[in-house]
Homo-oligomer: A and B are copies of this chain.
Amino acid sequence: MITIKEVAHHAGVSMSTVSYVLSGKRTISEETKRRVEQSIVTLGYHPNAGARALASNRSRVVGLVVPLHSDQNMPIIMRFVSSIVARARDHDYDVLLLTKEAGPGEAHRVIARSMADAIVVMDVESADPRVPELRAVDAPVVLLGMPDDHEGLSCVDLDFATAGRQMAGHLAERGHRSIALIGSPPSVYERGTSYAARLLAGFQGETAKRGLLATVHSCAPGFDAVSECLDDVLHPDRRTTGLVVHNEAVLGPLLLELRRRSLDVPGDLSVITLCPDDVAANLPVPLTSIAVPAQELGAIAVEMVMARLGRELAPEVRLLQPLLTDRGSTAAR
> Which residues of A line the B interface, CB within 8 A?
1, 44, 46-54, 59, 61, 64, 68-69, 74-75, 77-78, 81-82, 85-86, 89, 94-97, 99, 101-102, 109-110, 112-115, 221-224, 252-253, 256, 259-260, 282-284
Q: Is there an interface contact between B64 and A89, defined as CB atoms closer than 8 Å?
A: no
Partner of A97, one of B49, B50, B85, B223: B85
Give the distance to chain B from A66, nearest Cβ to Cβ, in Å: 8
Report if A68-B64 is in contact (Cβ < 8 Å); known contacts: A96-B94, A114-B48, A223-B283.
no
Q: Is there an interface contact between B53 and A68, defined as CB atoms closer than 8 Å?
A: no
Q: List 11 A-B contacts (CB under 8 A).
A: A48-B114, A50-B51, A50-B59, A74-B75, A82-B101, A85-B99, A89-B102, A94-B97, A96-B97, A222-B284, A223-B284
Partner of A78, one of B48, B68, B114, B222: B68
The residues of B that contact A109 with a CB separation of less than 8 Å are 46
Q: Is there an interface contact between B54 and A50, defined as CB atoms closer than 8 Å?
A: yes
Q: Is there an interface contact between B256 and A48, defined as CB atoms closer than 8 Å?
A: no
Instruction: For the A-B complex with A50-B51, A61-B96 known, give 14 more contacts whose Cβ atoms are closer than 8 Å.
Output: A46-B113, A47-B113, A48-B114, A49-B113, A50-B52, A51-B54, A68-B81, A68-B85, A89-B102, A95-B96, A222-B282, A223-B252, A252-B256, A256-B256
Give the distance to chain B from A107, nearest Cβ to Cβ, in Å: 12
Q: How far is the CA of A90 from the CA of B252 in the complex (A)?
A: 38
Q: Return the 9 tightest CB-CB contacts between A and B, nearest first.
A: A50-B53, A46-B112, A68-B82, A50-B54, A74-B74, A222-B282, A223-B284, A97-B97, A95-B97
